[in-house]
């Protein structure tokens, strides 16, 4: 599929992203108000200035199995991004068909989505109720771990889990701008060819009614960062969160929203949606 490339985008920018310092104990985040979160090691405690390079000139070279991400053209006529049920009814099936065709997966399950926008900034990061509405995450992370993936499959597809988990399976995020071009808080991607499995460690996430875990990343100077300036609603990014195939292909991609210092002062607030997806081969 042809990719529409923004030839006028900048070469790259200097900015700061929030890595996490590894410690002997656990790193935790409570997604509800609790005295238990006092004196804990919390994520994002290591801000590092980095260069984020313009990925557009190399757009056709990136693959999800090599770099952990890839960009594609994707069109939908759907416009009602404020109603979750409408998104599930109309966009989920389109995304399933698109992923099957693009990635060659035999089965695709879109199981949830999150709308990201700066207008949700008043909602605290630890809010655990309306989780389909969030502000951009300013933390270098990956959304699943090797242990949380099979648990999610068993939770959502209990009768088929054993069979599905015996095949190659991947978890992806599909990230898409909505309503307008993204200028505010774009997404930075840490090239998987420059990361090691030891770069990530667990962040324990505690909700009022459940617990989970994701990966956060420690800093290494070898990390190479990319972004796609001025992505439009006609673009989607595939971000790999997990791959059961351990044959040298990218297992995950670390990512974070960041402040683009070249952004117009009157740039509109970012609005994007990310779909969380299981692919079985």
Instruction: Output the pLDDT for position 173.
Output: 98
Looking at 39-53, 69-83, 129-143, 152-166, which range is the least confident one?
Answer: 129-143
Q: What is the mean pLDDT of residues 188-194?
A: 98
Fold of 47-140+169-198+222-280: Jelly Rolls (2.60.120)
The 10 Å Cβ neighbour count of residue 179 is 15
Q: How far is CA 100 from each of CA 40, 94, 108, 153, 241, rounded to the nearest angstrom?
A: 42, 10, 7, 18, 17
Model pLDDT, residue 7: 47
Who's near 205: CB < 8 A, 6+ residues apart?
A: 28, 29, 31, 211, 212, 213, 214
Average pLDDT rounded to a whole number, residues 92-117: 96
What average pLDDT does the segment 102-118 reach?
Answer: 92
| 39-43, 50-54, 64-68, 122-126: the lowest-pLDDT one | 122-126
H-helix segments, 104-184: 148-156, 161-165
Higher pLDDT: 39 or 152? It is 152
* Average pLDDT of span 207-227: 89
Question: Average pLDDT, stretch 175-191?
Answer: 95
**Spatial CB neighbours of 158, under 8 Å, sequence gap ≥ 6:** none
Nearest 5°: the CA angle 248, 246, 52 is 50
Please give the distance of CA 11 from its chain centroid, rounded to a whole number: 23
Mean pLDDT of 80-85: 92
Predicted local confidence at residue 131, as pLDDT: 47
pLDDT of res. 121:
53
Average pLDDT of span 228-236: 96
pLDDT at position 133: 47
pLDDT at 112: 96
Cβ atoms < 10 Å from Cβ of 217: 27
How is the beta sheet containing 69-73 ordered, strand by strand? 69-73, 235-243, 169-177, 271-280, 107-117, 133-134
Residue 4 has pLDDT above 70, yes or no: no
Measured in degrees and rounded to the nearest 5, phi and psi for residue 25 equal -90, -160
Provide the pLDDT for residue 212: 81
Q: Which residues contact 243 (CB under 8 A, 6 or more apart)?
A: 65, 168, 170, 249, 250, 251, 252
- pLDDT > 90 fraction of the chain, expressed in percent and rounded: 73
- Tell me, what's the pLDDT at 163? 97
Q: What is the reported pLDDT for 36?
A: 63
Higher pLDDT, 15 or 35: 15
Burial 80-95 (b: 16+ CB within 10 A, else e): ebeeeeebeeebbeeb
Cα–Cα–Cα angle for 83, 143, 257, rounded to 5 degrees: 75
Asked if pLDDT for residue 211 goes beyond 90, the answer is no
pLDDT of residue 259: 94
Give the residue from 136, 164, 190, 260 showing the smallest Cα distance to 19: 190
Q: Ranked by mean pLDDT, which of 31-40, 69-78, 124-133 comes out on top?
A: 69-78
Question: 135: pLDDT confidence band, cut at 50, 70 and 90?
Answer: low
179 backbone φψ class: left, alpha, beta (φ>0; ψ -120 to 50): left
- Locate the domains of the chain by residue range: 47-140+169-198+222-280
Percent of the chain with pLDDT over 70: 84
pLDDT at 41: 78
Beta-bridge partner residues of 19: 46
What's the average model confidence in pLDDT over 220-243? 97
Q: What is the DSSP letter of 41?
A: B
Mean pLDDT, rounded, for 146-153: 96
**68, pLDDT greater than 60:** yes
């Amino acid at each position: 599929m042809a990719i529409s490339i923004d030839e006028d985008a900048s070469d790259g920018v200097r900015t700061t992203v929030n890595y996490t310092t590894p410690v002997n104990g656990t790193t935790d985040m409570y997604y509800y108000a609790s005295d238990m979160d006092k004196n804990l090691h919390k994520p994002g405690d290591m801000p590092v200035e980095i260069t984020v390079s313009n990925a557009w000139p190399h757009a056709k070279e990136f693959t999800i199995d090599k770099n952990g991400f890839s960009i594609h053209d994707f069109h939908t006529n759907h416009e009602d991004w404020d109603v979750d049920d409408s998104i599930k009814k109309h966009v989920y099936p389109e995304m399933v068909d698109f992923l099957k065709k693009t990635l060659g997966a035999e089965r695709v399950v879109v199981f949830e989505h999150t709308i990201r926008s700066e207008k949700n900034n008043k909602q605290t990061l630890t809010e655990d109720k309306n989780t389909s509405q969030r502000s951009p995450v300013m933390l270098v992370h990956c959304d699943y771990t090797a242990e949380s993936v099979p648990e999610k499959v068993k939770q959502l597809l209990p009768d088929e889990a054993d069979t599905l988990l015996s095949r190659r399976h991947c978890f992806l995020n599909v990230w898409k701008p909505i309503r307008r071009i993204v200028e505010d808080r774009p997404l930075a991607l840490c090239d998987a060819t420059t990361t090691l499995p030891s770069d990530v460690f667990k962040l324990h996430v505690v909700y009022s009614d459940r617990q989970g875990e994701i990966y956060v990343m420690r800093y290494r100077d070898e990390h190479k960062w990319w972004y796609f300036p001025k992505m439009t609603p006609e673009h989607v990014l595939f971000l790999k969160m997990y791959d059961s195939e351990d044959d040298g292909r990218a297992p995950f991609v670390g990512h974070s929203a960041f402040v683009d210092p070249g952004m117009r002062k009157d740039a509109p607030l970012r609005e994007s949606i990310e779909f969380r997806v299981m692919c079985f081969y």
